[in-house]
Structure 1
Amino acid sequence: MKWNRIPLGPLQTNAYVLVHEDQTCLVFDPGDEGEKLIEYITANGWTPLAVLLTHAHFDHIGAVDDIRKRWSIPVYVHKQEQHWLTDPMKNGSLLFMREAITVNEADVLLEGEQTLTIGAFSLQVFETPGHSPGSVSYYVEKAHAVVSGDVLFLGSIGRTDLPGGDYEQLLQSIHRHLLVLPEETVVLCGHGPETTIGAEMDTNPFLNRF
């Protein structure tokens, strides 16, 4: 099982494609440039099974409908942010981009921590609010990776000054759900390069002062 990072859009938001040995894949946070992402997946001969969102800010959802239309696959998002997909004020696009970015409603609403089985993939869903109320992280043990969205970054954490953000809640989410993972776990961040749980435990200044 392997993962691939594709930065997309003006904010270079990371979409990730997690690929199984059978060439099926999962698409995480397709934020923009749908045609570019479709061409990348098609060129590699992969077959997407689902789109999984870590949260519903505009820069993480912009190409959702492009991917869904191309492969007729379901979209997953946390229940607390189901209406953000269709509301440009809630997803922040009107505030930051001065244009409305919306996508159709999700097919599957996540609520509570659970294990998802999609094709040959098994993922643990952790509720990790703080950056946004419905932020989730997807831990894929067989890939030794966690898709954290905008919760945890290399040397930093997600911003909490947006509507629904909560600094203390974010730190609690990170400590309760992410830092308990094996230290070699790769953190697939929503922006910027990857890191590991161990590296952030040792060097992240936000976590070391909590």
Structure 2
Amino acid sequence: MQWKRMPLGPLQTNAYILTNESKEALIIDPGEEPQAIFQYIEECGAQPLAILLTHAHFDHIGALETVRTKYTIPVYLHENEADWLSNPDKNGSAHFPMVSACHCQPAERIIIGEQQALVIGGFEFTIFETPGHSPGSVSFYFPDDHVIFSGDVLFKGSVGRTDLYGGDQLTLFESIENKLLPLPEKTRVAPGHGFETTIGEEQAMNPFLT
């Protein structure tokens, strides 16, 4: 599996496009700039199978409806945020004047309700429930590729904020401690903002965790 990190929108939120040898693709957190996503997928000659949301904050869903409509693919999100896509107060877009309020309601949603293993096409991965930054935050772990897409839970040298709707600091640190840090140290962490890191690096160097 290969993936492309694409910082998009005013907050430079990382969308990720995952592709495999069969030219299948998964799209994680299409936050803004749908044309950039379309161009990359066209260059790869890939066929998108699904959109995966680490959580439903506005900067992670800004291009969601446009992308979903173009490819007619399902959207995976946690049940705790099932109503956030069309609620600007919950997804946060009502409180940030530099963006338009998000009112999207994809026709096909697949609700995640617990930690589970999933197979989508040729992709096999595990969904970890990692709340704290938001109630429905999840992380997508691909053990064969030694990578976890952590959304806004764990960053290089930092952790997610908890001052937005539904955030909870204690829950965030429990998620990191119980779900992410037990992974092998070589596991790469692909966060929702900023650059890639590893579990081992964060165990050793992250000032919020040491």
Shared fold (TM-score, shorter chain, > 0.5) = yes
Q: How does 1:49-198 map to 2 (within 5 A)?
A: 49-97=49-97, 99-105=100-106, 107-198=109-200
SS at match of 2:6: strand
Shift of 1:99: 3.1
SS at match of 2:40: helix
Structure 2: distance between partners of 1:161 and 1:10: 20
**Equivalent residue letter for 1:64:** L
SS at match of 1:89: helix
**Equivalent residue letter for 2:160:** G
* 1:35 aligned residue: 35
* 2:204 aligned residue: 202
Structure 1: distance between partners of 2:102 and 2:82: 14
Show structure 1 runs of 5+ residues with no match. Answer: none
SS at match of 1:83: coil
**Equivalent residue letter for 2:102:** I
SS at match of 2:82: helix
Structure 1: distance between partners of 2:5 and 2:19: 11
Show structure 2 runs of 5+ residues with no match. Answer: none
Identity %: 54
Structure 2: distance between partners of 1:17 and 1:142: 17
TM-score computed with the length of structure 1 as normaliser:
0.96
Alignment RMSD:
1.0
**Equivalent residue letter for 1:160:** T
Is the 1:77–1:110 contact (alpha carbons within 8 Å) kept by the matching residues of 2?
yes
Structure 2: distance between partners of 1:89 and 1:161: 14
Map Cα deviations across residues 119-177 of structure 1 (whole Å, 9 max, x no partner).
01111011000000000000011221001000000000000111111111101100101
Shift of 1:47: 1.0
The number of equivalent residue pairs is: 208
Is the 1:74–1:107 contact (alpha carbons within 8 Å) kept by the matching residues of 2?
yes
TM-score computed with the length of structure 2 as normaliser:
0.96
